[in-house]
Amino acid sequence: MAAGSIEIPLRDTDEVIELDLDQLPEGDEVLSILRQEVAPLHIWVTLALEYYKQGFVEDFVKILESSRTDSGIDYQNFERDQMQSLDTLAAYYVQLAHKEKNKDTKRELFTKATLLYTTADKIIMYDQNHLLGRAYFCLLEGDKMDQADAQFNFVLNQSSNNIPSLLGKACIAFNKKEFRSSLAYYKKALRTNPNCPASVRLGMGHCFVKLNRLEKARMAFERALQLDPQCVGALVGLAILELNSKAQDAIKNGVQLLSKAYTIDSSNPMVLNHLANHFFYKKDYQKVQFLALHAFHNTENEAMRAESCYQLARAFHVQDDYDQAFQYYYQSTQFAPTNFVLPFFGLGQMYIYRGDNDNASQCFERVLKAQPGNYETMKILGSLYSNSFDQDKKDTAKQHLKKVTEQFPDDVEAWIELAQILEQSDVQGALSAYGTATRILKEKVQADVPPEILNNVAALHFRLGNFQEAKKYYEASQERSRNEAQHDETYYSAISVTTTYNLARLYESLNEFDKADKLYRTILRDHPNYVDCYLRLGCMARDRGQIYEASDWFKEALQINQDHPDAWSLIGNLHLAKHEWGPGQKKFERILQRPGTKDDAYSLIALGNVWLQTLHQPMKDKAKEKRHQDRALAMYKQVLRNDDRNIWAANGIGCVLAHKGCVGEGRDVFAQVREATADFCDVWLNIAHIYVEQKQYVAAVQMYENCLKKFFKSHNEEVMLYLARAYFRCGKLQECKTVLLKARHISPHDTVLLYNIALVQQKLATSILKDEKSNLKTVLTAVRDLELAHRYFSYLSQHGDRMKYDLNQAGLEARNRRDMSDSEDEGGDRRDKKRRKPRKGKEGKDKKKKEKEEDDGLSAKQRRKIVSKAYISSSNESGSEKEELQIADDGGSGSGSGSGNEGVSKKGRRIMSSDSDSDGEAAKSDNDRKSGSNRGSGSESDRRSNKGSGSEKGSGKDSGSESDAGSVKSNASNKSNASKASNRSAASHASNASNRSAVSNASNRSAASNASNKSGGSNASNKSGGSPASNKSGGSPASNHSDNEGGSKKGSDSGGESPANENSD
């Protein structure tokens, strides 16, 4: 038989048919001969392989398929030929499945291969070639790598230099990212057979690249091309190395290599993707789309598909086709391996464009996790998180931007972003960041400072109280806006309006109200829908006591926007300031009825305070009292559900607990609030009140004194009265008197203070006169104090303020003091006449002095109470002391218990006319009538004089896209008396002291509406005998806090107290 031929023996003869392998007949003809002669199986296999080598694949398949049933197997060792036949056909199906794009067809081919290999297993399971075939089949299936590894190991244990097993192990190690192990297997295969095909060198080249040994990789790729000039993988590898060198000539050479690879195999997805990447930088986006789409359809490899989708996505992205870009970015992320994060970066940008910042943040977090120091990702995340309401995200933004500015200290945008975040928590740090940005703009960029930055810098100076600096920067911002207006008149005009508004707010703080008024009106001439100007004009009118004019301004605001929450809050606060709880409640409920403000924290807390206020009134119906407690608690809880950091809501819950008698629990809540922030004076006062209730007077005194020093620079009449009460309770009358006298220096015309001083003087003088060890000088001082107390009571009975205490009681005190003196004089005369002894005058005086010591000259009513501004006596303690100092509610002197925060666009929270819904009340005060507070409907309630009252919700918002910078809320206090708890309420924690830049306009409500509910409990009732403290009103939920340093009420941005509680001269 010739070397190039094969013989087919004829059945039942000794003759054969010789077939020339170089000139094979038709496959069907050969197949017919093989069947007819029942040729041995090994001849079928040999002929099938020859047809395969010559490209007659169909004949190859037909012969092997027929051999399974028609071949002769009556010879020795036919089993090995059976196994070879099955394995050969199975290998063909595996190869075909690997190239197949259709998943169903691929699965069908894999199933056929599996069936053939399983059949071969039953013939000879542990044949090396059979195991190698099965192992490579497992590799190509992708999810059976461990099975393949086990079979390669089995073969290598039998033959340690088996090259197919070594190459298989190299592939497995590479896919497991064990690149050194993979390289070692390739080297061993190469040493075993130095004439290995080019693919071995190609595999080594990829290992060198992964190990960052790029020169070795280049040598491996070049050697592979020497062995096989058509090796596409080597061409692509060399091209990538050339392109990554970024040299002009190298890039040109790399593109040529890719072009050559494309000529050899135009369907290779790796070549197509790299060419698409090249044409992207050439800005030939049509070719990018063609090549990337072609690559996508020519591979089933998910990593390759991810790259193709990414190329398509960014081609659409750069052409502003964001819908298509979003689609392909998203599809790329579905295919992308863990370390391929570029599609997530693009997808995050698409989410930003769509306004979906949450999903955008998740995408950029994915990028940052893979590349922790990525500058651009940190910068974008910092910008996204800076606008979040979540404080943790704001803190994360701050950290990212600080890292960015450390890595790239000349990045102006990063410094500005960082400054805007620091505005809310670190004003000085924000100023420093703006200063750095300004310096870079001037020195490095050679550009003028934008007016927005100048405006924001001015706002920060305003918050620090640097009013002249603020004025300088505002004026510079206006000048800059005028100069830039020629480039974009609309935009810079808007910036100028914002700056003008902020400048007007500055003039308010400088008490230059005429200038502020003029600027507000100027803005309204050009922008009649600028609501905040109406609100500010209204607040200024209100602070001047012109309530009717203020009401008109607020109504103007509602004409523009009938659902404006600030305007309605200001209306509500006007009602609350006059103890019109029902109408006030309706205004806040109206805000909550709107979908956009249904969770408004300010309104919820204001309503909670209204219900809390009712608890200050004596209530026989315990079920009703509990119902009101539950309603107040529900309001505060709803706020905390939306914002668990809202300190005003937490403080309110503490007040309700104290009202319920849960003093310990209330104290725990107040302690937690103080841990959250040390700058909330109300919680300090509440803790001190709790100490008083628990008879821990020393601790209470210390807390009051610390509060005075920390928040009021030792000058606050109201807190000083609380301190006096604590001194009185612990029997330190002299210290009590000293504190009251200091308070009178602050408010010299306060008649309630005078009343309290008279009572304390009387009490102190009486105790001195009773003391047998008192010396003459002390006694004479005591006598003078008694006479002074008598004159005070006489004056107060005629010139006192009947809105704050009972004038008849003052007259009664004066008469008691005079009657006691008269009776003592008459008794002395009778005794002198009767004795007629040489030293009768002296003896009469001694007896008179003794009688004075036995009688302190106080009536039973006097022993029960002394009038002052805060509720002091407790029914539980009245039995232990003959006399209790009680502090009458006069509504405060105007400074309030908490100073308002200062800011540029300060929005005091809403005041305005009382509408027709005047008498719908949830919490009707029993003391309105007693305190002289008249309820009315319509705008009549706004016409009454409201000196220093009316919680102000100043305007802090700008129209359009701009905002006023430096808006700061004023916080007020709500001090409940039964529990000695104060709840300053309403603005949410997130919006407190918010500084708004000129580009993002945000509403900022002051917390002024929930302030000092000072009277309360049994102390508000009219007690028998005309107690001086009997006529106390329930207190307005709004206290007046000054915007300006020095305590000026004018321009204040928080509410004042009820006129019924005002101090009178």
Helix axis angle, 302-318 to 285-297, nearest 10°: 160
Please state, in angstroms and rounded to a whole number, the distance separating the CA atoms of residues 952 and 576.
Answer: 12
Q: Is 409 a residue whose pLDDT tops 80?
A: yes
**Does residue 234 register a pLDDT over 60?**
yes
Residue 805: predicted pLDDT:
63
Strand partners, 72: 40
Kindly report, residue by residue over 849-888, the tens digit of the pLDDT: 444 444 444 443 433 333 333 333 333 333 333 344 444 4
Identify the top-confidence range among 432-436, 771-775, 937-941, 969-973.
432-436
Cα dihedral 612, 615, 617, 622 sign: positive
| Rounded to 5°, angle at Cα 527 from 523 and 531 | 85
Mean pLDDT, the chain, integer:
77
3-state class (DSSP) for residue 266: coil
DSSP 132-193: HHHHHHHHHHSS-HHHHHHHHHHHHHH-TT-HHHHHHHHHHHHHTT-HHHHHHHHHHHHHH-
Polymer length in residues for the chain: 1065
Q: Can you tell me the distance from the alpha carbon of 755 to that of 1064, in angstroms, rounded to the nearest whole number?
A: 13
Task: Spell out the residues 6+ positions from residue 789 whose beta carbon is closer than 8 angstroms to its own.
Answer: 758, 759, 761, 762, 765, 813, 817
Evaluate the CA torsion angle 191, 196, 198, 199 in order and state its sign. negative
Provide the pLDDT for residue 1006.
Answer: 33
pLDDT band at residue 816 using 50, 70 and 90 as cut-offs: low
- The H or E element spanning position 456 is helix 451-463
Cite the residue boundaries of each domain of the chain with CATH code 1.25.40.10. 197-265, 501-700+895-915+946-1061
For residue 986, pLDDT beyond 90? no
- Collapsing DSSP to helix, strand or coil, 697 comes out as helix
Least confident of 163-172, 476-485, 870-879: 870-879
CA distance 358 to 351: 8
**Tokens found for residue 976:** 């409940």
How far apart CA 870 and CA 130 sit, in angstroms, is 98
Q: Percentage of residues in the chain with pLDDT exceeding 70? A: 75
Q: Which CATH superfamily is domain 501-700+895-915+946-1061 in?
A: Tetratricopeptide repeat domain (1.25.40.10)
**One CATH from 3.30.360.10, 1.25.40.10, 1.20.1730.10, 1.10.10.410 for 197-265:** 1.25.40.10
Q: Over pLDDT 90: what percentage of the chain?
A: 41
Directed axis angle between helix 198-210 and helix 179-192, to 10°?
150
Q: How far apart (Å, rounded) are the C-alpha atoms in residues 829 and 434?
A: 85
Is pLDDT of 947 > 60? no
pTM over 0.75: no
If one compares 316 and 974, the residue with the highest pLDDT of the two is 316
* Cα–Cα distance for residue pair 83/116, rounded to 1 Å: 9
How distant, in Å, are the alpha carbons of 115, 871, 972, 1004 from that of 91?
12, 96, 84, 74
Closest listed residue to residue 923, CA positions, set 595, 476, 583: 583
Answer yes or no: are the C-beta atoms of 744 and 1057 closer than 8 Å: no
SS (H, E, C) 574-596: HHHHCCCHHHHHHHHHHHHHCHH
831: number of Cβ within 10 Å: 14
User: What is the Cα–Cα distance from 655 to 1016, expressed in whole angstroms?
Assistant: 12
Q: What span, in angstroms and rounded, lies between the C-alpha atoms of 1063 and 1065? A: 7
Higher-confidence residue of 839 and 595: namely 595
pLDDT above 70 for 226: yes
